[in-house]
Amino acid sequence: MNAIISASELADALRSERPPVLLDVRWQLSTAAAAGEPFDGRAAYASGHVPGAVFVDLDRELASAPGARGRHPLPDLDVFGAAMRRAGVSAGTPVVAYDGGIGWAAARAWWLLRWTGHPDVRVLDGGLPAWDGPLETEAPTPAEGDFVPEPAGSGVLDADGAAALARAGVLLDARAGERYRGEVEPIDPVGGHIPGAVSAPTSDNVDADGRFRPAAELRARFGRLGATPDAPVGVYCGSGVSAAHEVLALEIAGIPAALYVGSWSEWSSDPARPVAVGPDPQ
């Protein structure tokens, strides 16, 4: 099953006998958010959303509170499961997640649902800006779903696993190149990257409209970075959100990848962990 869905395909699906549950996961990274003033996705949702969509709060329902495990550690599964059931998610119901266009937050929802056992979840390619149908401001009250998260035994990396993968496989750093090189670091304690990690900004996964590049282009791009279907591949970013977008791009390309959820926000919080700077992995 394709991991993404176009706006026209979504419109058709919503008219079908088995319409998907819609998750509105609008969120954005900012230095204000790091200072405790997060983007108000709920207000954006209230101003207009795809009919039937339910708002999901990334910071509170798709992650636990910031701490030693990073800015967006894995959520408490009871909290996550309750949020999904409130939105109407059931094990046998298709799900489509969308955000404001960048795709990171929607990909986090996609990744969590996939990792916890949901078999049919996709991301709206291009997010809300790609949707040319009607919007509504009233929040729906869907019937309670029955989805119970059951985490997979693989697909997640901790700090030690990420370090090992950087040595023995391919660890991709999904942040902007200047953060990877250590030239700037607007949020975390120190700039740079995990030794051995390869720079692979998420911005190169999409076109100018924020839609994913074709599978063949993504496969070629990741292949040049050493990531192939036969190689063990992992991804990290600042806090495990944009890295989910990279895992989604790898999925489109046919390349399985694990996610280091704690990412750089966890790695850089421990001064004992090594930090590399500059354009080269080492």
Q: Which residues are catalytic?
A: 237
| Distance of alpha carbon 92 from the chain centroid | 22
- The 3-state secondary structure of the chain reads CCCEECHHHHHHHHCCCCCCEEEECCCCCCHHHHCCCCCCHHHHHHHCECCCCEECCHHHHCCCCCECCECCCCCCHHHHHHHHHHCCCCCCCCEEEECCCCCHHHHHHHHHHHHCCCCCEEEECCCHHHCCCCCECCCCCCCCCCCCCCCCCCCEECHHHHHHHHHHCEEEECCCHHHHHCCCCCCCCCCCECCCCEECCHHHHECCCCCECCHHHHHHHHHHCCCCCCCCEEEECCCCCHHHHHHHHHHHCCCCCEEECCHHHHHCCCCCCCCECCCCCC
Phi, psi dihedrals of residue 48, rounded to the nearest 5°: 155, 125
- Residue 208 burial (10 A CB sphere; 0-12, 13-18, 19+): exposed
Phi, psi dihedrals of residue 31, rounded to the nearest 5°: -65, -30
